[in-house]
């Protein structure tokens, strides 16, 4: 039987050893809504925990309105979300010059004008001001005090000065924040580099034992940040792997987001009985496998379901290389995995956290990476390079023998394996 893995904008095929019937890990995906535009309009008119968006905008229609968008690394169905939003602006009497679209880049690079047009559409870019957040540009940030943790909160000035702040997002599993969307538009999306680092530093305590979302200290501080900035309204969606919109939520920062979290969890959390000897997976193709930085999410999910001493086979094109300079610098040090983990714990830095993610897997398991990266760059990630998935499968079969337990996880970035609770 032939199996498939998404790879960039194509796919790769392979077969498993004779007699192997793998455990298949797939999310319980729901079909897309028959009319997502109508669902978005309805959500804006009947939000959770707030008045309708149009009503709220009329009260502040002469003020400065900031809409926070995702960057290119987070696929977002703007063709569904933006038209109803702009309709609400028009009905409320909001003028184009009042509106700024602010791109929540986190610590990623900002978009070029060409990229903005490709992601958000030429019409939006021509009509409105579309501004990249820059986590490293301290002169564009303001200090909003300290979190309960004692850490300083620096955030984009445009968001703080807005008379109405609205965020757009997609709610998906996240390897240490629990779920994306909602509050993540502000932290890390619009925060200063030091603030992001302090918040994310606790990931090293959470990755092996992720707490429930309501107890996750990283997520709770993200909510604290969004409340301090004063997010007035959110528009979030849950999508399936085809990027079809399954659920639209709008309204209060926490109430609307939590509804989306529940839907996302029901779809993407996949219970399993025991860990496997070999896991064959991918990072879901473009754009989720655009670079090694993004690919780490799929590797983390595979790590959850592969036993210590086991083998992970991961297909990810990585056409844009490593994807982040600090991350690449850490990997270029050629330190053993255990040392990387120790150094990141002692001196946490953004970019280094991704090195920790790769090192954590390599410290206990072997893994193959099928990508466009060179052999040297692959080995710097602690991976073994093979030209094909089949070559890696054959090597794993020799290593683990005929009685090995195999897992096939074709949607690695969006499948969250969860150990089944004991009765």
Whether 311 and 397 have beta carbons less than 8 Å apart is answered as no
Read off the DSSP letter of residue 109: P
Helix intervals (H) in 92-142: 113-120, 122-127
Rg of the chain on CA atoms, in Å: 22
- Three-class secondary structure of residue 70 per DSSP: strand
Catalytic residue annotation: 108, 174
Distance from C-alpha of 329 to C-alpha of 344, rounded to nearest angstrom:
13
Distance from C-alpha of 375 to C-alpha of 392, rounded to nearest angstrom:
14
Whether 106 and 353 have beta carbons less than 8 Å apart is answered as no
Whether 377 and 385 have beta carbons less than 8 Å apart is answered as no
Distance from C-alpha of 364 to C-alpha of 328, rounded to nearest angstrom:
21
Distance from C-alpha of 350 to C-alpha of 135, rounded to nearest angstrom:
11
Q: What share of the chain is helix, strand, coil (3-state, %, to 5)?
A: 40, 25, 35
Distance from C-alpha of 337 to C-alpha of 356, rounded to nearest angstrom:
8
Dihedral pair phi/psi, residue 206, rounded to 5°: -105, -25
- Three-class secondary structure of residue 106 per DSSP: coil
Distance from C-alpha of 321 to C-alpha of 139, rounded to nearest angstrom:
30
Tokens of 403: 């009685």
- Three-class secondary structure of residue 176 per DSSP: coil
The CA distances from residue 105 to 23, 189, 296, 320, in Å, are 37, 6, 18, 17
DSSP per residue over 18-44, as a string?
TT--PEE----PPPPPS-HHHHHHHHH
Distance from C-alpha of 412 to C-alpha of 415, rounded to nearest angstrom:
5
């Amino acid at each position: 039987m032939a199996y498939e893995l998404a790879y960039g904008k194509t796919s790769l095929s392979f077969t498993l050893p004779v007699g192997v019937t793998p455990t298949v890990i797939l999310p319980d995906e729901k079909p897309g809504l028959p009319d997502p535009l109508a669902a978005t309009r309805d959500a804006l008119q009947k939000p959770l925990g707030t008045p309708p968006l149009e009503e709220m905008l009329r009260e502040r229609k002469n003020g400065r309105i900031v809409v926070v968008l995702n960057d290119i690394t987070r696929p977002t169905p703007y063709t569904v979300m933006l038209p109803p939003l702009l309709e609400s602006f028009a009905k409320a009497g909001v003028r184009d010059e009042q509106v700024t679209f602010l791109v929540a880049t986190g610590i990623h690079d900002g978009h070029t004008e060409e990229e903005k047009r490709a992601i958000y559409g030429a019409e939006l870019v021509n009509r409105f001001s579309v501004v990249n957040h820059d986590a490293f540009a301290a002169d564009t940030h303001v200090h909003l005090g300290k979190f309960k943790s004692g850490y300083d909160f620096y955030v984009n000035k445009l968001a703080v000065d807005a008379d109405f702040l609205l965020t757009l997002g997609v709610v998906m599993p996240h390897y240490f924040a629990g779920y994306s969307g909602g509050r993540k538009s502000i932290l890390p999306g619009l925060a200063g580099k030091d603030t992001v680092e302090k918040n994310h530093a606790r990931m090293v305590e959470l990755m092996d034992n992720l707490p429930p979302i309501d107890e996750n200290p990283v997520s709770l501080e993200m909510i604290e940040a969004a409340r301090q900035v004063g997010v007035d309204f959110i528009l979030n969606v849950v999508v399936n792997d085809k990027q079809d919109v399954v659920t639209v939520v709008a309204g209060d920062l926490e109430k609307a987001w939590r509804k989306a979290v529940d839907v996302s969890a029901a779809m993407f959390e996949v219970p399993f009985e025991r860990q496997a000897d070999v896991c064959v997976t991918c990072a879901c193709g473009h754009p989720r496998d655009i670079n090694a930085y993004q690919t780490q999410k799929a590797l983390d999910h595979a790590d959850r379901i592969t036993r210590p001493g086991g083998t992970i086979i991961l297909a990810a094109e990585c056409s844009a290389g490593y994807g982040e300079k600090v991350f690449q610098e850490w990997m270029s040090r050629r330190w053993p995995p255990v040392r990387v983990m120790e150094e990141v714990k002692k001196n946490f830095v953004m970019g280094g956290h991704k090195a920790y993610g790769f090192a954590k897997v390599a410290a206990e398991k072997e893994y193959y990476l099928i990508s466009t990266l060179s052999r040297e760059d692959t080995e710097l990630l602690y991976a073994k390079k093979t030209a094909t998935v089949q070559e890696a499968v054959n090597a794993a079969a020799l290593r683990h023998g005929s009685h090995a337990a195999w897992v096939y996880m074709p949607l690695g970035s969006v499948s969250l394996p969860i150990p089944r609770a004991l009765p």
